[in-house]
Structure 1
Amino acid sequence: MQIIEALAEVSDRYHALFVDLWGCVHDGVRALPGAVEALTAYRAGGGRVILVTNSPRTRAGVAAQIAQFGVPDTAYDDIATSGDSARVAMFGGVVGERVWHLGQSHDAAFFEPPAILDHPARIERVPLEAAEGIVCTGPFDPMADPETLRPEFEAALGRGLKLLCANPDIVVDRGEIREWCAGALAALYAEMGGESLYFGKPHPPIYDLARRRLAKVETVADAEILAIGDGPGTDAAGAMGEDLDLLFISGGLAATDTGTGPDGRPDPTRLARFLDAEGITPTYTIGRLR
């Protein structure tokens, strides 16, 4: 594993990048300038960039969100979202047609039928007691302990409901504030004995979607794709599962554990200890994408 200082040190070995968003390109509040500059320069040199995110939002919703954060469309070619991958499955009827929505109102677009399906299921949001399945786009309150939903989950378990998880992330950092994500709720439901269905990283469906997005602009072999991300159980596990080279961002979720300081450099000893403990074998590591 090689610790690098800048993407440009290795980017000429790849024709495309699969890049995580939160913690790599933005912090949930604003764009990270170094990352935007690096991706824009990579594309200017002929490289392709597909943003691969566990956001439960649609591609259009994510594009609008990151534009507000200051991420220009010159920094990427297309976006593959966990939300789009999960939405196709939901409208395919994997958890039934009457669903209990566990999430916030800003995820309403998740329930709009995707254009790629000719005959989508007629999804109706109903109270839990009338539901055939659960669709989880995130907590009602991202600051609340997932355990607060145990009573509802016990009721759902008693009826054998499946849970569709639109975002496998456990936590994210919005600026300096850590929030719970849908993945934490899906993990609790599975721990309690329920069946949780995943479509984002590290699971194959979102990578299939990312490859389809990439194929629309250029045909690129897997050996020429570099995955970039900061999530050990999502970005790293997904890249390793897909046999893609990985650039691990140590200054995101793992900043404290890897000793990545304000200068953007990880402590080699702490980094090695962290990677070993997590079972991660990245091709490269960088403190922050730049």
Structure 2
Amino acid sequence: MTQIINSLSEVSDRYDALFVDLWGCVHDGVRALPDACAALQEYRRKGGCVVLVTNSPKPRAGIAPQIADFGVPEDAWDTIASSGDSARAAMFQGVVGEKVWFMGEPERDDDFFKPMKVIENPVNIQRVELEDAEGIVCCGPFDPMADPADNRPEFLWAKQKGLKLLCANPDIVVDRGDVREWCAGALARLYTEMGGESLYFGKPHPPIYDLARRRLAEIGKHVPDSSILAIGDGVHTDIDGAMGEDIDSLFISGGLAAKETKTNGQPDPDALDAYLNKEMANPTFTIGHLR
């Protein structure tokens, strides 16, 4: 059974590094969450290391200025591991071919196709129409408010042609302020349900955790899994991922599951237990909001 805590500082001295989700934990898609930022700043002042582990399809270089615009201070984190970078590496290695049909918002997601210096002999990726594609690269819906089922006709054709779908963001939904939006994970789930093959590289899947560990090593931190705490508001991304990696986790109940856990400052214990049992999740700790 999860332990409800009142602040990160109650347990943070047990850990040398944090794997912290961004959306719903550190910002709400519009602005930074001040208490969360303050908690991470304090943790770093005491010597801890913060890796922002996000299912954003953006490369690391695009996330830093974005969260700065939201008001997340630079001294609240050390490095970033994104689903986008993990998926980009796979794309440039050719996992869905050279000619790809792109799903997403071009102005937002163009950086996904920028070359990666760390990939030797990268595939020459070309964006083409669906009928000419060898695979699908999905950074998100064309319209984040539209029903994912609107894509069934294209997905049926793609499945029949045996196209693989590379999912750059396994999240199903996010809350942008008070507005809930669909993410690439909802499209990948639909494609899989229709019999297509979806490839995932963000939480809860192993590649992004491998990337997070490599990002720690890049800054000279070699931290055993027993000294890492994963923090996030998605039971099927952040918490399932942590459980799969056998690392401790802190569930933020006031994010995506605020209604189900009856979180008003802190979760209602009975509602929290019912929700976690229903979702078959077992976070080490739970808190209403990161602080």
TM-score, normalisation: structure 2: 0.98
Deviation digits for residues 38-67 of structure 1 (CA, Å, limit 9, x no counterpart)? 001100110000000000000011111101
- Following superposition of structure 1 onto structure 2, how do residues 115-154 of structure 1 map, counting pairs within 5 Å? 115-154=117-156
Q: Secondary structure at the match of 1:24?
A: coil
2:230 and 2:129 map into 1 onto residues whose CA distance is 39
Counterpart of 2:6 in structure 1 is 5
2:204 aligned residue: 202
Question: What stretches of structure 1 of length at least 5 have no aligned partner?
Answer: none
The one-letter amino acid of 2:200's match is Y
Distance in 2 (CA, whole Å) between partners of 1:282 and 1:196 is: 27
- Measured in 2, the distance between the counterparts of 1:118 and 1:96 equals 16
Q: 1:279 and 1:268 mapped to 2: Cα distance?
A: 16
**Match in the other structure for 2:287:** 286
Alignment gaps of 5+ in structure 2: none
CA distance in 1, matches of 2:4, 2:148: 36
After superposition, the C-alpha distances for 1:90-143 in whole angstroms (9 at most, x for unaligned) are 000000000000111110010012110121100000000000000000000000
List per-residue Cα deviations over 1:11-50 (Å, max 9, x = no partner): 0000000000000000000000000000011001100000
In structure 2, give the amino acid aligned to 1:183. G
The residue number in structure 1 matching 2:254 is 251
**2:48 paired with 1:37:** no
Map 1:77-92 to 2 at 5 A: 77-92=78-93
Residue number among 157, 173, 185 corresponding to 1:155 in the alignment: 157
1:237-276 CA-to-partner distances (Å, cap 9, x unmatched) read 0000000000000000000000001xx2100000011111
| Percentage identity across paired residues of the two chains | 69
Larger CA deviation: 152-161 vs 24-33? 152-161
1:101 is matched with: 102
CA distances 1:149-187 after superposition (whole Å, capped 9, x unpaired): 101111111211000000000000000000000000000
Identify the residue that residue 64 of structure 1 maps to in structure 2: 65
Q: C-alpha distance in 2, partners of 1:216/1:20?
A: 20
Shift of 1:215: 1.5
Q: Could you tell me how far 1:279 is from its partner in structure 2?
A: 0.8
Q: How far, CA to CA, are the matches of 1:64 and 1:114 in structure 2?
A: 19
Query: Which stretch has the larger CA shift, 216-225 or 83-92?
Result: 216-225
| In 2, Cα distance between equivalents of 1:219 and 1:147 | 44
Give 2:236's aligned residue. Answer: 233
Q: Report the Cα distance in structure 1 between the residues aligned to 2:167 and 2:208, rounded to whole angstroms.
A: 13
| Partner of residue 55, structure 1 | 56
Q: 1:48 is aligned with what amino acid?
A: C
Distance 1:7 1:282 in 2: 14
- Letter of the structure 2 residue corresponding to residue 126 of structure 1: V
Question: Following superposition, which runs of at least 4 residues in structure 1 exceed 3 angstroms of deviation?
Answer: none
Q: Which residue of 2 aligns with 1:25?
A: 26
The equivalent position to 2:112 in structure 1, one of 86, 110, 113, is 110
SS in 2 for 1:52: strand
Relative to structure 2, which stretch is displaced further, 136-145 or 156-165? 156-165
Deviation at 1:216, TM superposition (A): 2.0
SS at match of 1:60: helix
Q: Distance in 2 between matches of 1:153 and 1:281?
A: 34
Task: Give the distance between the partners of 2:57 and 2:24, measured in 1 at CA.
Answer: 16
Partners of 2:98 and 2:179 in 1: how far apart?
A: 36
Equivalent residue of 1:255, what SS? coil
Q: Quick one: distance in 2 between partners of 1:243 and 1:118?
A: 32
CA RMSD of aligned residues (A): 0.6
Counterpart pick for 2:189 among 187, 190, 214: 187
Distance 1:189 1:283 in 2: 33
